[in-house]
Amino acid sequence: MCGIAGIVRWDGGPADPVLLNRMSALLAHRGPDGAESVIEGPIGLAHRRLAIIDLSDDGRQPMSTADGTLTVVFNGEVFNYLELRSELEEAGHTFRTGSDTEVVLAAFAAWGRECLDRFNGMFAFALLDRRRGEVFFARDRLGIKPLYYTLNGDRLLFASECKALLADPSVGRSPSIPALATFLAWGVHDHSEMTMFEGVFQLPPGHWMVANESGIEGPVRWWDLVVNPAVDAEPDLETDAPGRLLELLTDAVRLRLRSDVPVGTCLSGGIDSTTIVALIARLLKDEHPSSVGDRQRTFSAVYTDTRFDERQFIATAVQATGVADSYVEPDPERLREDLLDLVWTQDEPFGSLSIYAQYCVMRLAADQVTVVLDGQGADEQLAGYLAYQGTYLSTLARQGRGARLIAEAAGTLWHHRGFFLDAARQLLVRRRRRGALRIEAEPVHRYSGTLDWVLGRETVATNLPALLRYEDRNSMRFGIEARVPFLDYRVVEYLASLPLDQKIRRGVTKRVLRRAIRGLVPEAIRCRMDKMGFVTPEEIWMSGALAGLVEEVLASDSFCSRPYWDAGKVTQDFADYRAGRAAYSHEVFRVVITELWLRLFFDVRETTLAARAAASKE
């Protein structure tokens, strides 16, 4: 896990070493274990190292093949690198290091671009191919690891985070209005190549791109996700699916325990994270992975307010697995101190304060481990969010499955009636609040369409990519590598192949997973029907401990002068909410956090960049 950055010019001029160093400095948090760079004529490559596999100096990057034809800067992990290494050795390749980075180089030398199909991991890399006179860029299937770029005149700049590209004063001088409007109106971001910085793009998940003297080729898709639209499973599949899923998940966890530094686990108390913790506990007993040590370490967020606290479920998981548990309680006073750092960490505005709990958990974990596993990605694949219930019912209605629709609707209402009543009220509140915006966005109806189509989009575009960005930035802020077993491509492709009734049946979400973990995960957790995760009491904080800060932001000259919203309407709306005349919704927070982002990345950009770059050298 690392940070990468670089410059590619196609006018023949030399890459700027001063700019490359500035870009690297702004990624120092991603790689506290070393910084290296190389400039070769029009191409400059920089790397910030977080040492995970092969801690020796042999693992440093940029790394080249023995014959000097290939050089790579690589961010992430190829978890099946040992298997690939053995295959390559049988084909005659020799290795000088124990790193997965060298395996990436050898795989590209042997198989070219098709090597991507063989990688099981999370990665983003730039590879200088001197034979072809080009730089090849690639990103993993689900986009777990980030890669951003901008085309600036006669050159391409790329980096692991947008902030590194801003080291060039001409880059991202204005917000991207289409991206900003979509975020403010619909709460959706990271769903396309666009970022919220004008002219800055991300290489989409599962794509590659080439830069050479002629310019840019791509992005080109090398992997796609197709979700099975069938509703009903055949009897054999109904019987076999849980066992096959557990087998794949177990191996996904096993691979992600490969590490030369300590590994721990994020534990929220929900089904997904508890499944990961329980699988590690089983592997620790049977296979003794050295990266875990004698006892698995878990990290959790808890709250005094019982409406948001999952301590009882966490305690159940801890008792069942015997882990060494650690806890942090996010609080609004500490948040006031952390908020600007959180905005800086994320690069772009974020939809709610739920990510602050994750930020606090990563800070807690950094004192004990360098790698954490968690359950990210299961909800989108297994229809875990309750809003998908409505999509499923509409899918059955479209298919004319009247009897099935009645049975499924009865189950949904039995288990989740309160959620849908609240959701109906929230739709009205959010529609009214969109009226305070002065920029328009095309509607993004996340839950419209058939369930298979929606789950596919949620996994690769409208939801999961944003959560992966949050996790990448929050973990790397504290020098932590986050690994997500539910996004092992074998698990993803298998879940996508299953009929929809393996995901929802009569209101029960994640059906095949619940059956797979029977006897592994405590029943009190396996049978949970609510959905929380790493949440925060955002609504309580916004009307209480954070209200003064919000009102200060809303009264500021900068807020009142922005062309993106009607400041008077927003201010009155917040006053109505505090007075109990209006319900809360995340639109309130989105506007406030956008104002803070605009200040940090546009109003005082040069001061902020200089201060952060200087801090990286201390």
pLDDT one-digit tens code per residue, 554-590: 999 999 999 999 999 999 999 999 999 988 888 989 9
Q: What mean pLDDT is predicted for residues 408-426? A: 83
Write out the DSSP string of 366-425: TTT-SEEE--TTHHHHHT-STHHHHHHHHHHHHTT-HHHHHHHHHHHHHHHHHHHHHHHH
Rounded alpha-carbon distances, angstroms, from residue 193 to 146, 212, 289, 455: 12, 21, 39, 20
**Cβ neighbours around 606 below 10 Å, total:** 9
Q: Kindly tell me if the per-residue pLDDT of 432 is higher than 90.
A: no
pLDDT bracket for residue 43 (50, 70, 90): very high
Q: Kindly tell me if the per-residue pLDDT of 532 is higher than 80.
A: no
Structure token digits, residue 453: 């189509």
Q: Which amino acid is at 496?
A: A
Contact (Cβ atoms closer than 8 angstroms) between residue 197 and residue 611: no
The CA distance from 403 to 397, in Å, is: 10
Residues carrying CATH 3.60.20.10, the chain: 2-221
Q: pLDDT per residue over 181-233, tens digit each?
A: 999 999 999 999 999 999 999 999 999 999 998 889 999 999 999 999 999 99
pLDDT bracket for residue 416 (50, 70, 90): confident
* Per-residue pLDDT at 536: 80
The CA distance from 82 to 23, in Å, is: 32
Q: Kindly tell me if the per-residue pLDDT of 535 is higher than 80.
A: no
Whole-number percent of the chain with pLDDT over 70: 99
DSSP state of 599: I
Strand partners, 158: 6, 149
For the chain, the average pLDDT equals 95
* Per-residue pLDDT at 533: 57
Q: What mean pLDDT is predicted for residues 18-37? A: 96
* Per-residue pLDDT at 306: 87
Q: What mean pLDDT is predicted for residues 506-521? A: 97
| The CATH number of domain 2-221, selected from 3.40.50.920, 2.60.120.260, 3.30.70.980, 3.60.20.10 | 3.60.20.10
* Per-residue pLDDT at 127: 98
* Per-residue pLDDT at 573: 94
Give which of 324, 319, 281, 332 is closest to 299, Cα–Cα.
324
Q: Kindly tell me if the per-residue pLDDT of 423 is higher than 80.
A: no
* Per-residue pLDDT at 431: 84
pLDDT bracket for residue 6 (50, 70, 90): very high
Q: Kindly tell me if the per-residue pLDDT of 142 is higher than 90.
A: yes
Q: What mean pLDDT is predicted for residues 1-7? A: 93
Q: Kindly tell me if the per-residue pLDDT of 29 is higher than 60.
A: yes
* Per-residue pLDDT at 415: 86
pLDDT bracket for residue 618 (50, 70, 90): low
3-class state of residue 548 by DSSP: helix
Q: Kindly tell me if the per-residue pLDDT of 1 is higher than 80.
A: no
Dihedral over Cα of 484, 190, 456, 209: its sign: negative
The CA distance from 561 to 564, in Å, is: 9
The CA distance from 405 to 410, in Å, is: 8
* Per-residue pLDDT at 115: 98
Strand partners, 300: 327
The CA distance from 295 to 278, in Å, is: 12
3-class state of residue 209 by DSSP: strand
Contact (Cβ atoms closer than 8 angstroms) between residue 485 and residue 134: no
Whole-number percent of the chain with pLDDT over 90: 88
Q: Kindly tell me if the per-residue pLDDT of 617 is higher than 80.
A: no
* Nearest-10 Cα torsion for 501, 266, 268, 471: -70
Question: What is the fold of 235-385+429-526?
Answer: Rossmann fold (3.40.50)
Strand partners, 115: none
Q: Kindly tell me if the per-residue pLDDT of 534 is higher than 60.
A: no
Contacts 24+ apart (CB under 8 A), 392-400: 392/451, 392/500, 392/504, 394/450, 395/231, 395/450, 395/451, 395/452, 395/500, 396/231, 398/450, 399/231
The CA distance from 546 to 557, in Å, is: 19
Residues carrying CATH 3.40.50.620, the chain: 235-385+429-526
Which has the higher per-residue pLDDT, 4 or 428? 4
Q: Kindly tell me if the per-residue pLDDT of 79 is higher than 80.
A: yes
Q: Which residues contact 618 (CB under 8 A, 6 or more apart)?
A: none
